[in-house]
Amino acid sequence: MSEIESAPRTVRDVVCGFCGLGCDDLTVETDGRMVRARDVVCPEAAKLFLRRADAPVPQCSQSGVVTSESDALDAARVLLAGAKATLVAGLGVDIDGGRAVLDLVGRFGGVIDHYASEGLFRNYTAAQRTGWLSTTLAEVRNRCDVLLVIGDDPTAVFGRLFERIVPPNPLFASSRKVIFLGAAPGEKARGQLGHADIVHLEPTDLVAALEAVVGGVQGRTLRGETIGGVPTADLAAAAAALKDAGYAVVTWNSATLSGDGGQVGALVAERATALVDALNVTTRAGVFPLGGRDNIIGVNQMLLWRIGYPLRTAIRSQIAEHDGTLFSTAAALKDADLLVWVSAFRPEPPPEFDGPVIAIAHPETRFARPPEVFIPVGTPGIDHAGTVFRMDSIVSLPLGALRVATLPSVAEAVRLIAGEAA
């Protein structure tokens, strides 16, 4: 691929596909190879959109030694053909890249998982047991009048969250109350919520405090001076505010609730679901689980469409088998004899692994040891067009190319490995 210079330009209404919020109002400046987001309040977007004009063009390598693309593809093909227990992980890809990876796994066999799936499967634990009534970003934005935020301040991961879901002038809510049950909201969150009534309750036992709020909504009498380290009167007041709401929403990020081996995240999802069920007896309410990093929602959706199973699925001899525990990246690594690491959105390094590694990855990825095969690929939404899904699972977003690509997309690289025309 040859580099083609282009005149400086400003591109407006650019979609960001990095965190799952699906912000579609970015302004990006380009000048040849240079790409830079302008006036971006989200540090994640500012960092991941930045591409320097003088950056060297990355090259394929084998065990740290620069090699030709054709030799790297041949070496990857040989490793895949000889492996008996392949793990394909990372999976920070657009939809087309995900399709190509799934086709590759269907051909060679292996386990497939996304590096950010831990939070997703903590939520699945609750959904599988009881089901849940979830809402969408637009519904939260326009109708929610009481928002319960459980756990850490989510703006550390989703920089513009409250700007997007709690605007000053919603269509249908006359007032906004945001109750933080967990860590205190930071300066960024408070800045975005300056028009809202903010309440902060900081428990020593998050699950116990949340359970008390659920009990209050269900009509149980809360006893004692404190529950989970929070004054009982404050928990009762939070329950009353949720019951009086016209449209209450409960949100949390299971990925950051890793206490007790991940059980805290699963229990929060379960209690949040019970809370919304109780509220819906007399009013409207919904859960709004946070997630969506590097198109995990889109990849998961694609797998469900194509094979009927989500992430953490093994495909062997054209037969798919799903197990949310056995086929997680951490568990599958113990039995794997080959790791295929795919990460196009960001330079996310692969986990520690003693066996051979094929990395189809962001060109700035830093490895603890050089992979046996490294094929640098372009970034969706910067080097090539693509499609991602928003965190609420219902909206797909088109990503456009901002510069002429000098690297293949994941889909192109994977199809070349499979011996198909790119």
**Residue 141 belongs to some domain of the structure:** yes
Residues 6+ apart with CB under 8 A from 346: 18, 48, 92, 294, 362
Closest CA to 267 of 254, 285, 277, 278: 254
> At 174, which CATH number?
3.40.228.10
**Residue 341 belongs to some domain of the structure:** yes
* d(C-alpha 102, C-alpha 87), whole Å: 12
* d(C-alpha 226, C-alpha 205), whole Å: 11
CB 147 within 8 A of CB 179: yes
Determine the 3-state secondary structure of 51 from DSSP: strand
CB 368 within 8 A of CB 270: no
Going by their DSSP bridges, the two strands 357-361 and 373-376 should be labelled as parallel
**Residue 63 belongs to some domain of the structure:** yes
Closest CA to 288 of 301, 302, 275: 275
Q: How many CB atoms lie within 10 A of CB 209?
A: 26
> At 78, which CATH number?
3.40.50.740
Residue where one domain finishes, among candidates 261, 291, 321:
291
Residue where one domain finishes, among candidates 272, 291, 310:
291
Residue where one domain finishes, among candidates 291, 320, 346:
291
Look up residue 190 and give its two tokens.
């408070």
Co-location of 310 and 391 in the same domain: yes
Closest CA to 14 of 4, 1, 27: 27
Co-location of 193 and 163 in the same domain: yes
**Residue 236 belongs to some domain of the structure:** yes
The residue count for the chain: 422
Closest CA to 387 of 3, 152, 66, 97: 97
Co-location of 167 and 243 in the same domain: yes
Q: Is 218 exposed, middle or buried (0-12, 13-18, 19+ CB in 10 A)?
A: middle
Co-location of 77 and 151 in the same domain: no
Q: Which long-range contacts (CB under 8 A, 24 or more apart) does 398-404 make?
A: 398/15, 399/15, 399/17, 399/94, 400/11, 400/14, 400/15, 402/11, 402/14, 402/28, 402/30, 402/35, 403/6, 403/30, 403/32, 403/33, 403/35, 403/51, 404/3, 404/4, 404/6
Co-location of 92 and 182 in the same domain: no
Co-location of 262 and 363 in the same domain: no
Domain count within the chain? 2
**Residue 271 belongs to some domain of the structure:** yes
Determine the 3-state secondary structure of 42 from DSSP: coil
**Residue 243 belongs to some domain of the structure:** yes
Co-location of 179 and 95 in the same domain: no
Strand arrangement of the beta sheet that strand 86-92 belongs to: 65-66, 61-62, 373-376, 357-361, 338-343, 86-92, 110-112, 313-316, 319-322
CB 51 within 8 A of CB 405: no
Enclosing H/E stretch for 297: helix 296-307
What domain range is 373 assigned to?
Answer: 58-116+294-417
**Residue 6 belongs to some domain of the structure:** no
Output the pLDDT for position 1: 37
Co-location of 109 and 243 in the same domain: no
* d(C-alpha 183, C-alpha 189), whole Å: 12
Co-location of 247 and 396 in the same domain: no
Residues 6+ apart with CB under 8 A from 337: 83, 84, 85, 86, 355, 356
* d(C-alpha 207, C-alpha 228), whole Å: 8
Co-location of 287 and 300 in the same domain: no
Please list the rounded mean pLDDT of every run of 10 residues in the chain (422 residues): 62 94 94 90 90 86 97 97 97 98 97 96 87 93 97 95 93 92 96 96 97 97 96 98 97 91 90 96 96 96 96 95 96 97 97 97 96 98 96 94 94 92 46
Co-location of 275 and 307 in the same domain: no
Output the pLDDT for position 3: 41
Co-location of 131 and 280 in the same domain: yes
**Residue 50 belongs to some domain of the structure:** no
pTM above 0.85, yes or no: yes
Helix axes 117-130, 296-307, angle to 10 degrees: 50
